[in-house]
Amino acid sequence: MNSVINKIKSKVTSRNDSLPKQGLYHFDFQEIGERSRIHLRIDPDGSGLLIVNANRIVHLNPTAALMAFLILQKSPHNQAIRKLTKAFAVTAAQASVDYAQIANQVNELIKPNGACPIHDLELDVTPPFSSKPSAPYRMDLAVTYRCNNDCSHCYNARSRDYPELSTKDWHLILDRLWEIGIPHVVFTGGEPTLRNDLPELIAHAEKNGQITGINTNGRRLSDYDYVDSLVKAGLDHVQITFESYNPDIHDSMVNAHGAWKQTFAGIRNVLETSLYVMTNTTMLSDNSSTLPQTLEFLADTGVPTIGLNALIYSGRGLSVNTGLAESALPSLLHCAREITSQHNQRLIWYTPTQYCNFDPMQLELGVKGCTAAMYNMCIEPNGDVIPCQSYYQALGNILTTRWRSIWNHELSIYLRERKGIPSKCSACSLVKECGGGCPLVMKTKGIV
Amino acid sequence: MRRRLISILLIFCLLLLISSPAIAQSYSFQLPEVTVDAYWNSDGTLSLDYTFLFVNNPSGHIIDYVDLGLPNNNYSDSNITAFVDGNQVFDISSSGFKGEGGSGVAFGLGQYSIPPGSSGTVRAHVENITGVLYIDNQDNNYASAVFGTSYFGSSYVSGKTDLTLTFHLPPDVKPEEPKWHAAPSGFSSEPSTGFDDQGRITYTWENANANGYTQYQFGASFPKTYVPSNAIVTVNPFAGVGKFISAAIVPILCIGGFIAIVAAGLASDSRRKKQYLPPKISIEGHGIKRGLTAVEAAILLEESLDKIMTMILFSVIKKNSAEVTTRDPLEIKINQPIPEDLQLYEKDFLTAFQKSGSDRKKGLRDMVVNLVKNVSEKMKGFSRQETVAYYRDITKRAWEQVEAANTPEVKSQKYEEVMEWTMLDRDYGDRTQEVFRNTPVFVPVWWGHYDPGFGNVASKPIGAPISTGVGSPGLPGADFAASMANGVQSFSSKVVGNINDFTSSITSITNPPPKVSTTSSKGGYRGGGGSSCACACACAGCACACAGGGR
């Protein structure tokens, strides 16, 4: 491990020789063919959160948090032990033994293809959704509600001409999010590429140390020069909505003739870059029958990661009537799992469901539950903060409302603490994982 | 003139060495035990419980007054009580306190004064002293609570003192939040931590070799949210006190020549340290993976491959899918049609045995490789550690059931029911022999399909249903146990040859060289994960749910 680390070129955004204060620290480890963006969030009580490539998240008690900081800073061993014995009532011998063990674990955790934290590192496993973060891990930034598609199932409940903040205001927001401790931002909409300042916003976030992504219909990405400008701005990942391998079905679902052609060109363009690329497909009655062909098509195209989700019951999604019953999902996802597995693709299933109808764990899709106002939130084009990008109830404005008020808003707590779980679920052994499914579904169907 | 123990500010030790001899010679006592409880209350006040055990030397003056120094003047006499050997004393006055330059209260012991050559216990309780907390200057989210013990002039007190001081932190402070400050010399660097009868966190420092003439200063810090903000002194009144002491106070006190008893609420900034909790990294996910078959659990537990294949052999025999035709070399006859409800590895096992030679060996290898991969898949997101412990416990309980059986018949029946779980025991062979050594065995009705030489059941028609349960006694326990154990041990030589080579051919596929030194792998295959394991996504603790879908 040491030899690996020695090869790593480290860039520490917030380097400080003193002990870490509360806040977010960014570390960028690079070597040929492998890069790790690491964020260490130190909470007021000294505990920490280690976030690897905005994906793997582990929790650190105060001792481990300080050790992780010293490890990521590559503090010389003796110097680290001195700092530990200065900060804690501990002997140097004990600190040295513990530090070596944590160093092994942290150095493995930060590698993109490192050891499994559960099976190889045998970290303590806490129940799903049991952590109480001090801020979300990810903030979605709906920079505009304008869109060059017109999806009949779109969850957007706002008008397309919704007021938009200036570039300068978004810079302030990005800075504010960094102060709050949010390491990952995703530009979304509407269609974020319709904002001409998107590369500038990405560059600003990257300068802060944030990991950036965009959720897009991909049409503007058909212009390779534009893709190049995003890459040069520092963009890390892109998710492109792709509804079907069949252009007619796709264009019909997005209500835009010729959209498929541009979107597919966009996919091919981003696959030429170093960006982390994935597609997302909403499984509806319109396209579910073509799912196998769509997945085979994407595999042939070389898309490494496939996202799938069900209808979101918001905006037009409330009335489109093309949503699939949860009970119809298992066969589709089983098929998707087989195809992606054959092609060594990663499959990500997004939609929180009621596990009594569809249990993603049975298909090895992982634990999926609503994480609104807990692990992720969304900011609207005018700066209002909403629990997630499809739950349109403002909790305050990021530019004018104290973060604590937003985070501890009654609705935030209601969602975070899952107070809306139907009473029928209380005795279910999977209630912690399931959480009752999507709150919007419960709300729409009058379950609560 | 009243003769008494009087007090001054303890921090000025220098003066103690040059106290007035005329007064000093009057008192001579020992202080074998001092106990102090300092309660840092939720309203930001401090309450103190002092217990002094005085042993007055025969030549000493009667101990008629005791002064107790306090951090400041922010207390009320009405909140102070004192007792001598359990007898309350009422002569309590701040005005009578003789400590120079400090604050405190004087107790007149009156009729309970301690005569020369006697001992007495003085207890004092002071409630609700305000203005005792300061902002921790290393973390302004923390309140600093520092306390210095009372002490007496070295001219009067001699001998060792067993000093115990306990901080009771405000209610509801969580164990991981507070931090203690560095302890004085002679005390353990880490206090004993615990909870008092109110559930409050306690830090206790003790030193059996302390003395009664030294001030010992202790401190702790805790999140300031546990006390009202207006209870915290924002400006340290003792800032710059060092210069002031040396320049002005010490000379004055030297002239005064008093001895000291005091408690001081100074904020010590430079030596405080946080409580050291062993470092811990955790991740959200599942705990135990239930529902594995015994064979799958054996993979997880990294049992030997010959044992695992023997378990599969037993499994297919019990399901009436096969029977052994010869044991050396091992050959089995497969009953057609193969039942649909067989596990995949059981089907693969039978398929492999339909071949011979190297093809059979390759088929068994592929069977094990797939089994390992399938177990890895099933374990995604689950804790290997907890799951291993879970199946170890099942094994333990399986043996307990067998061993608890009173009769050979029941013992045999229990064994047949849980046999596959008992086989997960590393000492399976020895333990089987131990349990059945001196008892007849009612062999399972399928036993004849495993042991062709066993006549009772061998005459059953091949393919006939075999019920579970117990057959008739027909095998001495020792022979049965030996047969079970040897069956496992010799499987490899009868089927796959060198088991090490066979295992290597599997681990080269399922388990690339370990990546981390902390892995507790015993060098076998790994059934619980691996570098390609996708647990990171299978776990809950990421924000990918609803990440932009639905557009």
ipTM given for this complex: 0.88
| CB-CB contact of B268 with B181 (8 Å) | yes
Give B529→chain A minimum CA distance, Å: 5
pLDDT tens for A167-201 read 999 999 999 999 999 999 999 989 999 999 999 99
Contacts with A, B 301-320, CB within 8 Å: none
Q: Per mean pLDDT, which of A70-79, A348-357, A361-370, B86-95 is the most reliable? A: A70-79
Residue of A nearest to B279 (CA): A64
Task: Provide the pLDDT for residue A243.
Answer: 97
**Helix, strand or coil, per DSSP, at residue B63:** strand
Specify the DSSP class assigned to residue B248: I
What number is the average pLDDT over the span B361-372? 88
**Closest chain A residue by Cα to residue B519:** A120
Whether B479 shows a pLDDT value over 70: the answer reads yes
Q: How buried is B465 (Cβ within 10 angstroms: 0-12 exposed, 13-18 middle, 19+ buried)?
A: exposed
**Which chain B residue shows the shortest CA-CA distance from A187?**
B548
| C-alpha to C-alpha distance for A282 and A305, rounded to whole angstroms | 15
- Check: CB of residue B298 under 8 Å from CB of residue B311: yes
CA A232 to chain centroid = 21
- Check A62 against B542: CB less than 8 A apart: no
Is B188 touching A (CB cutoff 8 A)? no
What are the DSSP calls for A55-78, one per residue? Answer: TEEEEE-HHHHHHHHHHHTT--HH
User: What is the arithmetic mean of pLDDT over A312-328?
Assistant: 88
**Residue A406 pLDDT greater than 90, yes or no:** yes
CA atoms within 13 A on the CB side of A250: 22
Q: How far apart are CA B31 and CA B15, in angstroms?
A: 21
Cα–Cα distance measured from residue A279 to residue A290, given in angstroms and rounded to the nearest whole number: 15
- The pLDDT assigned to B248 comes to 29
User: Which of B136, B281, B286 to probe by mutation at the A interface, max A CB count within 10 Å?
Assistant: B281
Of how many residues is chain B composed? 551
B281, A59: Cβ pair inside 8 Å? Answer: yes
**Residue A384 is encoded by which pair of tokens?**
């209002």
SS3 at position B475 = strand
**For residue A12, what pLDDT is reported?**
38
- Between the alpha carbon of residue A252 and those of residues A239, A316, B193, the distances in Å are 20, 15, 68
Are residues A45 and B535, on separate chains, in Cβ contact within 8 Å? Answer: no
Cα gap B169→A68, rounded to integer Å: 29
User: Per CATH, the architecture of B29-241 is what?
Assistant: Sandwich (2.60)
Task: Report CA-CA distances (Å) from A324 to A170, A317, B317.
Answer: 37, 12, 45
Q: What is the pLDDT of residue B242?
A: 35
Distance CA A200, CA A211 (A): 14
Going across the sheet that includes A237-241, the strands are A346-349, A305-309, A276-282, A237-241, A211-216, A184-188, A138-142, A376-379, A385-386
For residue range B524-539, list pLDDT tens digits in order. Answer: 454 433 333 444 444 4
Is B25 in the A-facing interface, judged by CB distances under 8 Å? no
Q: Which of B383, B516, B530 sits opposite A125 (nearest CB)?
A: B383
User: Touching check for B273 and chain A: CB below 8 Å?
Assistant: yes
Q: Minimal CA–CA distance to B391: which of B314, B296, B530?
A: B296
**Inter-helix orientation angle A92-109/A62-72, to 10°:** 70
Rounded Cα distance, B467 and B465, in Å:
6
Is A128–B285 a contact, with Cβ atoms under 8 angstroms apart?
Answer: yes
Let me know: does B22 contact B115? Beta carbons within 8 Å: no
Q: Which pLDDT score is estimated for B475?
A: 62
pLDDT per residue as tens digits for the range A220-253: 999 999 999 999 999 999 999 999 999 999 999 9
How many Cα atoms sit within 13 Å of A284 on the Cβ side? 27
- Reference A307, options A336, A268, A273, A271; nearest CA is A336
pLDDT of residue B259: 34
**Alpha carbons within 13 A on the beta-carbon side of B376:** 19
CB contact under 8 A, A63 and B277: yes
Distance between CA A267 and CA B262 in Å, rounded? 77
B262-320 residue pLDDT tens? 333 333 433 457 778 899 999 887 777 878 999 999 998 888 888 888 888 888 888 88
How far away is chain A from the Cα of B218, in angstroms, using its nearest Cα? 14
B286 inside 8 A of chain A by CB: yes
Collect all residues of chain A within an 8 Å Cβ-Cβ radius of residue B549. 280, 282, 307-309, 312, 350-351
Q: What pLDDT is stored for residue B535 in this prediction?
A: 47
Per the CB < 8 A criterion, the answer to whether A408 and A280 are in contact is no
Give residue limits of the domains in chain B.
29-241, 282-510
- Residue B176, chain A, CB below 8 Å: the answer is yes
Q: Which B residues, 222 through 241, put their C-beta within 8 Å of a C-beta on chain A?
A: 223
From A91, A241, A350, residue closest to B544, measured CB to CB = A350
Chain B nearest CA to A8, separation (Å) = 17
Percent pLDDT > 70 in chain B is 71
Long-range contacts of B157-160 (CB under 8 A, 24+ apart): B157/B29, B157/B30, B157/B31, B157/B211, B157/B212, B157/B213, B158/B28, B158/B29, B158/B30, B158/B57, B159/B30, B159/B31, B159/B32, B159/B211, B159/B212, B160/B32, B160/B208, B160/B209, B160/B210, B160/B211
Give the pLDDT confidence score for residue B279 in this predicted structure: 93
CA A307 to CA A328: how far, in whole Å? 18
Single-letter code of the amino acid located at B253: L
**Closest residue to A370, CB basis, from B141, B520, B545:** B545
Instruction: Supply the pLDDT for residue B509.
Output: 63
SS (H, E, C) B386-415: HHHHHHHHHHHHHHHHHHHCCCHHHHHHHH
CA distance B105 to B122: 14
Residue of A nearest to B382 (CA): A118
Pick the more confident residue, B528 or B59: B59
Instruction: Decide if A263 contacts A242 (C-beta within 8 A).
Output: yes
Model pTM greater than 0.80? Answer: no
Interacting residues of A446 by C-beta distance below 8 A, sequence separation 6+: none
pLDDT of residue B97: 65
Is 60 exceeded by the pLDDT of residue B494? yes
- Model confidence at B339: pLDDT above 90: no
For all residues of chain B together, what is the average pLDDT? 73
**Residues of B in Cβ contact (< 8 Å) with A146:** none
- Of residues A372 and B454, more confidence is placed in A372
Cis preceding linkage at B175, omega within 30: no
Give the number of other CB atoms < 10 A from CB of residue A258: 10
DSSP B338: P
Output the average pLDDT for chain A: 89
DSSP H helical ranges for B146-276? 241-244, 250-256
How many CB pairs (< 8 A) connect A and B?
Answer: 275
Look at residue A4 and tell me whether its pLDDT is greater than 80: no
Task: Give residue B521's pLDDT.
Answer: 34
Q: Which of B274, B379, B540 sits opposite A88 (nearest CB)?
A: B274
Asked if the Cβ–Cβ distance from A64 to B281 is below 8 Å, we say yes
| More confident site: B99 or A345 | A345
Contact B284 A217 (CB under 8 A): no
B270 — contact with chain A (CB < 8 Å)? Answer: no
Residues 6 or more apart whose CB falls under 8 angstroms from that of A390 comprise A155, A156, A157, A312, A314, A315, A317, A440, B546, B550
pLDDT score at A203:
98
Lowest mean pLDDT among A135-144, A323-332, B33-42, B227-236: B227-236
Q: Looking at the complex, report in whole angstroms how far the Cα of residue B253 sits from the nearest Cα belonging to chain A.
A: 36
Does position B98 have pLDDT exceeding 80, yes or no?
A: no
* pLDDT one-digit tens code per residue, A63-120: 999 999 999 999 999 999 999 998 888 899 999 999 999 999 999 898 877 777 776 7
Residue numbers in B near A317 (CB within 8 A): 550
Measure the N-to-C terminal CA separation of chain A; round to a whole number of Å.
52
Cβ A271 vs Cβ A244: under 8 Å = no
Return contacts of A44-52, CB within 8 angstroms, 24+ apart.
A44/A134, A44/B141, A44/B223, A45/B176, A45/B177, A45/B223, A46/B274, A47/B176, A49/A133, A49/A137, A50/A106, A50/A109, A50/A110, A50/B281, A51/A137, A51/A183, A51/A184, A52/A109, A52/A110, A52/A112
10 Å CB burial of residue B526 (0-12, 13-18, 19+) is buried
Contacting residues of B for A88, CB less than 8 Å apart: 273-276
Calculate what percentage of chain B has a pLDDT beyond 90: 13
A104 and A36 Cβ atoms separated by less than 8 Å: no
Our measurement of the distance from residue A80's CA atom to the centroid of its chain's CA atoms, rounded to an integer in Å, reads 33
Would you state the structure tokens that stand for residue B389, as one six-digit string?
């412990």
Is A104–B516 a contact, with Cβ atoms under 8 angstroms apart?
Answer: yes
The residue assigned the tokens 């059986």 is: B405
Q: To which residue do tokens 């403002």 refer? A: A394
Q: What is the pLDDT of residue A124?
A: 82
Distances (CA, A) of A58 to A9, B144, B359: 23, 31, 46
